[in-house]
Amino acid sequence: MTTLRSITAILAGAWLAVSIADAGAQSYPTRPVRFVVAAAPGGTPDILARILAPQLLEQLGQPVIVDNRPGATGNIGAEVVARAQPDGYTVLMATSVLAISPAFYRKLAFDAARDLAAVTMVAAQSMFMFVQGDSPVKSVAELIALAKSKPGRVVYASFGNGSPQHVATELLQIVAGVKLVHVPYKSGGLMVTALLSGEVQTMFLGLAPALPHVKSGRFRTLAVASAKRSPTAPDVPTFAEAGLPEVVVDNWLGVLTTAGAPAGTIARLNGEIAKAVQLPAMAERIVQQGVEINTQSPREFAAFLRAEIARWGKVVRAAGIEPQ
Protein backbone atom coordinates (compact mmCIF):
# COMPACT_ATOMS: atom_id res chain seq x y z
CA MET A 1 0.00 0.00 0.00
CA THR A 2 2.84 2.33 0.91
CA THR A 3 4.48 1.68 -2.44
CA LEU A 4 1.23 2.40 -4.30
CA ARG A 5 0.79 5.65 -2.38
CA SER A 6 4.36 6.68 -3.16
CA ILE A 7 3.89 5.99 -6.86
CA THR A 8 0.62 7.92 -6.85
CA ALA A 9 2.31 10.86 -5.13
CA ILE A 10 5.18 10.87 -7.63
CA LEU A 11 2.80 10.80 -10.60
CA ALA A 12 0.71 13.57 -9.10
CA GLY A 13 3.83 15.67 -8.53
CA ALA A 14 4.99 15.09 -12.09
CA TRP A 15 1.56 16.03 -13.44
CA LEU A 16 1.60 19.22 -11.35
CA ALA A 17 5.09 20.14 -12.59
CA VAL A 18 4.05 19.66 -16.21
CA SER A 19 0.87 21.66 -15.63
CA ILE A 20 2.86 24.53 -14.10
CA ALA A 21 5.35 24.45 -17.00
CA ASP A 22 2.53 24.49 -19.55
CA ALA A 23 0.88 27.39 -17.75
CA GLY A 24 4.17 29.29 -17.73
CA ALA A 25 4.64 28.68 -21.45
CA GLN A 26 1.13 29.97 -22.16
CA SER A 27 1.77 33.17 -20.19
CA TYR A 28 5.25 33.68 -21.68
CA PRO A 29 6.34 36.35 -22.27
CA THR A 30 5.22 38.81 -19.60
CA ARG A 31 8.02 41.28 -20.30
CA PRO A 32 10.27 42.27 -23.25
CA VAL A 33 12.44 39.63 -24.88
CA ARG A 34 16.08 40.46 -25.59
CA PHE A 35 17.19 39.26 -29.03
CA VAL A 36 21.00 39.17 -29.02
CA VAL A 37 22.63 39.23 -32.45
CA ALA A 38 26.23 37.97 -32.40
CA ALA A 39 27.14 40.21 -35.35
CA ALA A 40 27.36 43.86 -36.30
CA PRO A 41 24.36 45.82 -37.64
CA GLY A 42 23.68 45.45 -41.35
CA GLY A 43 24.70 41.83 -41.82
CA THR A 44 22.33 38.98 -42.60
CA PRO A 45 21.90 37.85 -38.94
CA ASP A 46 21.03 41.41 -37.91
CA ILE A 47 18.61 41.90 -40.81
CA LEU A 48 16.81 38.61 -40.08
CA ALA A 49 16.48 39.48 -36.39
CA ARG A 50 15.05 42.89 -37.27
CA ILE A 51 12.62 41.32 -39.73
CA LEU A 52 11.46 38.87 -37.06
CA ALA A 53 11.28 41.25 -34.09
CA PRO A 54 8.14 43.27 -35.01
CA GLN A 55 6.27 40.15 -36.13
CA LEU A 56 7.12 38.38 -32.87
CA LEU A 57 5.91 41.46 -30.97
CA GLU A 58 2.58 41.08 -32.73
CA GLN A 59 2.40 37.35 -31.97
CA LEU A 60 3.77 37.37 -28.42
CA GLY A 61 2.36 40.68 -27.24
CA GLN A 62 5.70 41.88 -25.83
CA PRO A 63 8.54 43.91 -27.40
CA VAL A 64 11.42 41.95 -28.90
CA ILE A 65 14.50 44.16 -28.55
CA VAL A 66 17.42 43.53 -30.91
CA ASP A 67 20.77 43.85 -29.13
CA ASN A 68 23.87 43.67 -31.37
CA ARG A 69 26.88 42.12 -29.64
CA PRO A 70 29.54 41.62 -32.32
CA GLY A 71 33.12 40.58 -31.71
CA ALA A 72 35.36 37.54 -31.29
CA THR A 73 33.78 35.84 -34.30
CA GLY A 74 30.36 35.79 -32.67
CA ASN A 75 31.56 34.47 -29.32
CA ILE A 76 30.80 37.65 -27.37
CA GLY A 77 27.10 37.55 -28.23
CA ALA A 78 26.89 33.82 -27.60
CA GLU A 79 28.49 34.23 -24.17
CA VAL A 80 25.96 36.92 -23.24
CA VAL A 81 23.12 34.47 -23.83
CA ALA A 82 24.95 31.49 -22.29
CA ARG A 83 25.35 33.44 -19.03
CA ALA A 84 21.84 34.94 -18.93
CA GLN A 85 19.05 33.82 -16.62
CA PRO A 86 17.64 30.53 -17.94
CA ASP A 87 14.13 31.89 -18.42
CA GLY A 88 13.86 32.24 -22.20
CA TYR A 89 13.87 36.04 -22.10
CA THR A 90 17.34 36.28 -23.67
CA VAL A 91 17.67 34.63 -27.06
CA LEU A 92 20.48 34.48 -29.60
CA MET A 93 20.55 34.83 -33.37
CA ALA A 94 23.60 32.72 -34.21
CA THR A 95 25.29 31.57 -37.39
CA SER A 96 27.27 28.45 -38.24
CA VAL A 97 30.29 30.14 -36.62
CA LEU A 98 28.82 28.88 -33.33
CA ALA A 99 29.65 25.32 -34.41
CA ILE A 100 33.06 26.23 -35.84
CA SER A 101 34.49 28.25 -32.92
CA PRO A 102 35.03 25.31 -30.52
CA ALA A 103 37.69 23.99 -32.89
CA PHE A 104 39.44 27.36 -33.23
CA TYR A 105 39.64 28.44 -29.59
CA ARG A 106 41.35 26.51 -26.81
CA LYS A 107 39.31 28.13 -24.07
CA LEU A 108 35.87 29.54 -24.77
CA ALA A 109 33.93 31.07 -21.89
CA PHE A 110 30.98 28.84 -22.75
CA ASP A 111 30.15 25.47 -24.27
CA ALA A 112 27.66 25.86 -27.10
CA ALA A 113 26.20 22.37 -26.71
CA ARG A 114 26.00 22.57 -22.91
CA ASP A 115 25.25 26.24 -22.13
CA LEU A 116 22.83 27.06 -24.93
CA ALA A 117 19.45 25.50 -25.70
CA ALA A 118 18.44 25.11 -29.33
CA VAL A 119 15.15 26.77 -30.29
CA THR A 120 15.06 26.49 -34.08
CA MET A 121 17.07 26.94 -37.20
CA VAL A 122 15.66 29.86 -39.18
CA ALA A 123 17.38 29.83 -42.54
CA ALA A 124 20.42 28.63 -44.45
CA GLN A 125 22.55 30.53 -46.91
CA SER A 126 24.19 28.60 -49.72
CA MET A 127 27.90 29.24 -50.20
CA PHE A 128 29.08 29.84 -53.76
CA MET A 129 32.64 29.84 -55.06
CA PHE A 130 33.60 32.77 -57.28
CA VAL A 131 36.50 33.81 -59.48
CA GLN A 132 36.97 36.93 -61.58
CA GLY A 133 34.90 37.08 -64.74
CA ASP A 134 38.00 37.24 -66.96
CA SER A 135 39.80 34.47 -65.10
CA PRO A 136 41.00 31.57 -67.26
CA VAL A 137 39.46 29.29 -64.60
CA LYS A 138 36.01 28.21 -65.74
CA SER A 139 35.32 25.25 -63.46
CA VAL A 140 36.23 23.71 -60.11
CA ALA A 141 38.42 21.19 -61.93
CA GLU A 142 40.36 23.99 -63.59
CA LEU A 143 40.80 25.81 -60.27
CA ILE A 144 42.20 22.64 -58.71
CA ALA A 145 44.50 22.11 -61.68
CA LEU A 146 45.77 25.70 -61.37
CA ALA A 147 46.37 25.29 -57.63
CA LYS A 148 48.32 22.07 -58.22
CA SER A 149 50.43 23.67 -60.95
CA LYS A 150 51.14 26.73 -58.80
CA PRO A 151 51.17 25.50 -55.18
CA GLY A 152 50.93 28.30 -52.63
CA ARG A 153 50.22 30.96 -55.25
CA VAL A 154 46.42 30.88 -55.57
CA VAL A 155 45.02 33.29 -52.98
CA TYR A 156 41.53 33.15 -51.46
CA ALA A 157 39.56 35.58 -49.32
CA SER A 158 37.54 34.80 -46.22
CA PHE A 159 35.55 36.65 -43.60
CA GLY A 160 38.26 35.93 -41.03
CA ASN A 161 39.73 32.92 -39.24
CA GLY A 162 37.03 30.46 -38.26
CA SER A 163 34.44 31.93 -40.60
CA PRO A 164 32.29 29.70 -42.82
CA GLN A 165 34.23 30.98 -45.85
CA HIS A 166 37.50 29.97 -44.21
CA VAL A 167 36.50 26.45 -43.21
CA ALA A 168 34.73 25.87 -46.54
CA THR A 169 38.01 26.53 -48.37
CA GLU A 170 39.97 24.43 -45.87
CA LEU A 171 37.56 21.58 -46.54
CA LEU A 172 38.00 22.02 -50.29
CA GLN A 173 41.79 21.92 -49.92
CA ILE A 174 41.66 18.72 -47.89
CA VAL A 175 39.32 16.97 -50.30
CA ALA A 176 41.06 18.19 -53.48
CA GLY A 177 44.60 17.82 -52.16
CA VAL A 178 45.66 21.39 -52.90
CA LYS A 179 47.10 24.30 -50.94
CA LEU A 180 45.76 27.84 -51.28
CA VAL A 181 46.88 31.02 -49.54
CA HIS A 182 44.42 32.48 -47.03
CA VAL A 183 43.84 36.24 -46.71
CA PRO A 184 41.18 37.18 -44.12
CA TYR A 185 39.04 40.32 -44.44
CA LYS A 186 36.77 42.06 -41.97
CA SER A 187 33.62 42.04 -44.09
CA GLY A 188 31.96 40.52 -47.11
CA GLY A 189 32.18 43.90 -48.84
CA LEU A 190 35.96 43.93 -48.50
CA MET A 191 36.09 40.39 -49.83
CA VAL A 192 34.14 41.45 -52.91
CA THR A 193 36.48 44.38 -53.45
CA ALA A 194 39.51 42.11 -53.10
CA LEU A 195 38.26 39.75 -55.80
CA LEU A 196 37.28 42.62 -58.09
CA SER A 197 40.75 44.16 -57.76
CA GLY A 198 42.62 40.90 -58.22
CA GLU A 199 44.09 40.87 -54.70
CA VAL A 200 42.68 37.33 -54.43
CA GLN A 201 41.79 34.78 -57.10
CA THR A 202 38.80 33.08 -55.50
CA MET A 203 36.44 33.02 -52.51
CA PHE A 204 33.35 31.45 -51.02
CA LEU A 205 30.48 33.85 -50.35
CA GLY A 206 26.70 34.00 -50.31
CA LEU A 207 25.11 34.93 -53.61
CA ALA A 208 23.41 38.18 -52.59
CA PRO A 209 26.50 40.43 -52.16
CA ALA A 210 28.13 39.01 -55.28
CA LEU A 211 25.06 38.99 -57.53
CA PRO A 212 25.50 42.46 -59.10
CA HIS A 213 28.99 41.48 -60.21
CA VAL A 214 27.82 38.09 -61.48
CA LYS A 215 25.19 39.86 -63.58
CA SER A 216 27.75 42.35 -64.91
CA GLY A 217 30.16 39.57 -65.81
CA ARG A 218 32.89 40.68 -63.42
CA PHE A 219 32.45 37.51 -61.32
CA ARG A 220 32.15 33.93 -62.51
CA THR A 221 30.37 31.38 -60.29
CA LEU A 222 32.12 28.00 -60.26
CA ALA A 223 29.94 25.93 -57.94
CA VAL A 224 27.62 25.95 -54.93
CA ALA A 225 28.59 24.11 -51.75
CA SER A 226 25.16 22.60 -51.13
CA ALA A 227 23.81 19.08 -51.31
CA LYS A 228 21.66 20.15 -54.26
CA ARG A 229 21.53 23.06 -56.66
CA SER A 230 20.28 26.31 -55.19
CA PRO A 231 16.86 27.54 -56.36
CA THR A 232 18.32 31.06 -56.41
CA ALA A 233 20.91 29.99 -59.00
CA PRO A 234 19.72 26.74 -60.60
CA ASP A 235 22.30 26.89 -63.39
CA VAL A 236 25.24 26.69 -60.99
CA PRO A 237 26.49 23.11 -60.42
CA THR A 238 27.20 21.64 -57.00
CA PHE A 239 30.64 20.51 -55.89
CA ALA A 240 29.27 16.97 -56.02
CA GLU A 241 28.74 17.44 -59.74
CA ALA A 242 32.38 18.52 -59.93
CA GLY A 243 33.44 15.26 -58.25
CA LEU A 244 33.77 16.64 -54.70
CA PRO A 245 30.60 15.54 -52.84
CA GLU A 246 32.20 16.17 -49.44
CA VAL A 247 32.22 19.94 -50.02
CA VAL A 248 28.87 20.84 -48.49
CA VAL A 249 28.88 24.04 -46.43
CA ASP A 250 25.76 26.05 -45.63
CA ASN A 251 26.02 29.19 -43.54
CA TRP A 252 22.98 28.57 -41.34
CA LEU A 253 21.23 31.00 -39.01
CA GLY A 254 19.41 29.80 -35.92
CA VAL A 255 17.89 30.89 -32.63
CA LEU A 256 19.02 29.59 -29.24
CA THR A 257 18.42 30.56 -25.65
CA THR A 258 20.08 29.89 -22.31
CA ALA A 259 20.33 26.24 -21.27
CA GLY A 260 17.86 25.40 -18.53
CA ALA A 261 15.09 27.56 -19.95
CA PRO A 262 11.66 25.91 -19.47
CA ALA A 263 10.86 23.37 -22.17
CA GLY A 264 7.43 24.91 -22.62
CA THR A 265 8.95 28.34 -23.23
CA ILE A 266 11.36 26.91 -25.81
CA ALA A 267 8.46 25.13 -27.53
CA ARG A 268 6.48 28.38 -27.58
CA LEU A 269 9.38 30.29 -29.11
CA ASN A 270 9.91 27.54 -31.67
CA GLY A 271 6.28 27.57 -32.73
CA GLU A 272 6.00 31.35 -32.93
CA ILE A 273 9.18 31.74 -34.98
CA ALA A 274 8.12 28.95 -37.35
CA LYS A 275 4.74 30.62 -37.73
CA ALA A 276 6.31 34.03 -38.37
CA VAL A 277 8.75 32.95 -41.08
CA GLN A 278 6.05 31.09 -43.00
CA LEU A 279 3.84 34.16 -43.38
CA PRO A 280 3.99 35.12 -47.10
CA ALA A 281 5.10 38.70 -46.52
CA MET A 282 7.72 37.62 -44.00
CA ALA A 283 8.96 34.76 -46.17
CA GLU A 284 9.39 37.10 -49.13
CA ARG A 285 11.50 39.53 -47.11
CA ILE A 286 13.66 36.75 -45.69
CA VAL A 287 14.30 35.09 -49.05
CA GLN A 288 15.34 38.49 -50.44
CA GLN A 289 18.35 38.29 -48.12
CA GLY A 290 19.71 35.40 -50.18
CA VAL A 291 18.75 32.66 -47.73
CA GLU A 292 16.33 29.75 -47.73
CA ILE A 293 13.89 29.30 -44.84
CA ASN A 294 14.59 26.10 -42.93
CA THR A 295 12.98 25.66 -39.51
CA GLN A 296 13.53 22.67 -37.21
CA SER A 297 12.25 21.38 -33.90
CA PRO A 298 14.42 22.13 -30.85
CA ARG A 299 15.52 18.48 -30.74
CA GLU A 300 16.43 18.44 -34.45
CA PHE A 301 18.37 21.69 -34.20
CA ALA A 302 20.24 20.52 -31.09
CA ALA A 303 21.27 17.29 -32.83
CA PHE A 304 22.31 19.24 -35.93
CA LEU A 305 24.43 21.62 -33.82
CA ARG A 306 26.23 18.74 -32.09
CA ALA A 307 26.95 17.11 -35.45
CA GLU A 308 28.27 20.38 -36.89
CA ILE A 309 30.61 20.92 -33.91
CA ALA A 310 32.01 17.41 -34.39
CA ARG A 311 32.31 17.81 -38.15
CA TRP A 312 34.22 21.09 -38.10
CA GLY A 313 36.44 19.86 -35.32
CA LYS A 314 37.60 17.06 -37.63
CA VAL A 315 38.13 19.45 -40.55
CA VAL A 316 40.17 21.91 -38.49
CA ARG A 317 42.37 19.13 -37.10
CA ALA A 318 42.84 17.62 -40.56
CA ALA A 319 43.85 21.06 -41.87
CA GLY A 320 46.53 21.28 -39.17
CA ILE A 321 45.13 24.54 -37.75
CA GLU A 322 46.29 25.18 -34.19
CA PRO A 323 43.54 26.45 -31.86
CA GLN A 324 44.10 29.99 -30.61
Q: List for the chain the helix, strand, coil content (%; round to 5).
A: 50, 20, 35
- Examine the domain organization and report whether 115 and 132 are in the same domain: no
Q: The pTM is what?
A: 0.87
Supply the range of the domain harboring residue 106. Answer: 32-124+250-318
- DSSP letters of 278-313? HSHHHHHHHHTTT-EE----HHHHHHHHHHHHHHHH
Cβ atoms of 226 and 237 closer than 8 Å: no
Instruction: Give the whole-angstrom CA distance, residue 55 versus residue 90.
Output: 17
Q: Answer yes or no: is 200 within a domain.
A: yes
CA 144, distance to chain mean position in Å, is 27
Instruction: Give the whole-angstrom CA distance, residue 110 versus residue 256.
Output: 14
pLDDT score of 25 = 59
CATH number for 185: 3.40.190.10
Residue 48: count other Cβ atoms within 10 Å of its Cβ: 22
pLDDT score of 323 = 87
Q: Answer yes or no: is 15 within a domain.
A: no
pLDDT score of 4 = 46
pLDDT score of 199 = 97
Averages of pLDDT over runs of 10 residues in the chain (324 residues) are 46 45 70 95 92 97 96 91 98 96 91 97 96 97 97 93 94 96 91 97 93 96 95 94 95 97 98 97 93 96 97 95 87
Structural domains counted in the chain: 2
* End-of-domain residue from the set 206, 224, 242: 224
Instruction: Give the whole-angstrom CA distance, residue 131 versus residue 204.
Output: 9
Give Cβ neighbours of residue 74 (< 8 Å, ≥ 6 apart): 38, 39, 94, 95, 97, 98, 101
- Examine the domain organization and report whether 135 and 212 are in the same domain: yes
Residue 28 is given by DSSP the state -
Cβ atoms of 290 and 124 closer than 8 Å: no
- Examine the domain organization and report whether 135 and 184 are in the same domain: yes
- Examine the domain organization and report whether 212 and 154 are in the same domain: yes
pLDDT score of 109 = 92
